[in-house]
């Protein structure tokens, strides 16, 4: 009897482990959460510490999704920016970025965009703002300055998207760009298979 129980428990443990390994990082995530990672590189509860500075992301609202990026050094804490993602339809989203505190001082501006990901063929990420979303249709809806709106819109016609601020690990030499690219690929695959499905 004990042998049967041990065998059953062992089998259950193996099945549990296999299920855990099979589950991707975006399983169970909302459409807004997946798109937030694709476009901004941001996800709830992500954080990284570099020397004495900790940068973290916190979701403050689910619908529309609102994420606040926080910077903390010692006892000093500051909200750096807020990103929001709202579903227009299965493949199109309204996204906005509002710089707060330090980012206002370095020249980032408020902006809101409509992003149609129906025909996106790939996601290409790199360090800094080197990101491309070939096939995406991006339209600037409003911005604090027309010049800012125009600049981002012109970049998007070449497939370039310059507002991906995360994941913060890309500033950490311990996390190579390759692993960031792999996770971005997973996000796009999940998005196409489960959210922006082809019409039949």
Q: Six-digit token pair at 155? A: 């970049």
- Sign, CA dihedral 133-138-142-148, equals positive
Bridge partner list, 82: 68, 98
Instruction: Tell me the CA distances in angstroms from 136 to 17, 112, 153, one per residue in order.
Output: 37, 16, 11
CA distance 190 to 198: 13
Q: Each residue of 73-121: pLDDT tens digit?
A: 888 888 888 999 999 999 999 999 888 765 554 556 688 999 999 999 9
Domain boundaries, the chain: 42-194
The CA-based diameter of the chain, rounded to the nearest angstrom, is 75
Extended strands (E) in the chain:
47-50, 53-61, 65-73, 76-87, 92-99, 111-116, 137-143
The pLDDT of residue 173 is: 55
Closest to 35 measured CA to CA, from 164, 128, 170: 164
The residues that bridge with 71 in the sheet, in sequence order, are 55, 78
**pLDDT tens, position by position, 128-156:** 556 889 999 988 888 766 676 777 777 77
pLDDT score at 192: 95
Residue 14: half-sphere exposure toward Cβ, Cα within 13 Å: 6
Indicate the average pLDDT of the chain.
78
Enter the pTM of the model. 0.80
166 vs 39, which has greater pLDDT? 39
Using DSSP, how many helices (H) and how many strands (E) does the chain show?
5, 7
């Amino acid at each position: 009897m004990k042998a049967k129980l041990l065998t059953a428990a062992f089998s259950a443990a193996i099945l549990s482990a296999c299920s855990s390994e099979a589950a991707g990082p975006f399983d169970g995530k909302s459409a807004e959460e997946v798109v937030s990672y694709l476009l901004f590189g941001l996800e709830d509860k992500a954080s990284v510490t570099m020397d004495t500075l900790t940068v973290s992301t916190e979701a403050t609202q689910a619908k529309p999704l609102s994420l606040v990026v926080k910077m903390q050094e010692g006892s000093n804490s500051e909200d750096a920016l807020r990103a929001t993602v709202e579903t227009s339809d299965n493949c199109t989203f309204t996204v906005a970025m509002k710089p707060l505190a330090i980012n206002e001082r370095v020249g980032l501006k408020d902006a809101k965009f409509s992003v149609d990901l129906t025909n996106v063929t790939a996601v290409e990420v790199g360090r800094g703002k080197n990101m491309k979303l070939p096939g995406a249709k991006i339209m600037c809806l409003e911005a604090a300055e027309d010049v800012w709106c125009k600049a981002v819109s012109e970049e998007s016609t070449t497939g370039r998207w310059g507002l991906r601020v995360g994941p913060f690990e890309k500033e950490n030499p311990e996390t190579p760009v390759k692993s960031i690219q792999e996770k971005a690929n997973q996000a796009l695959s999940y998005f196409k298979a489960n959210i922006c499905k082809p019409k039949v």
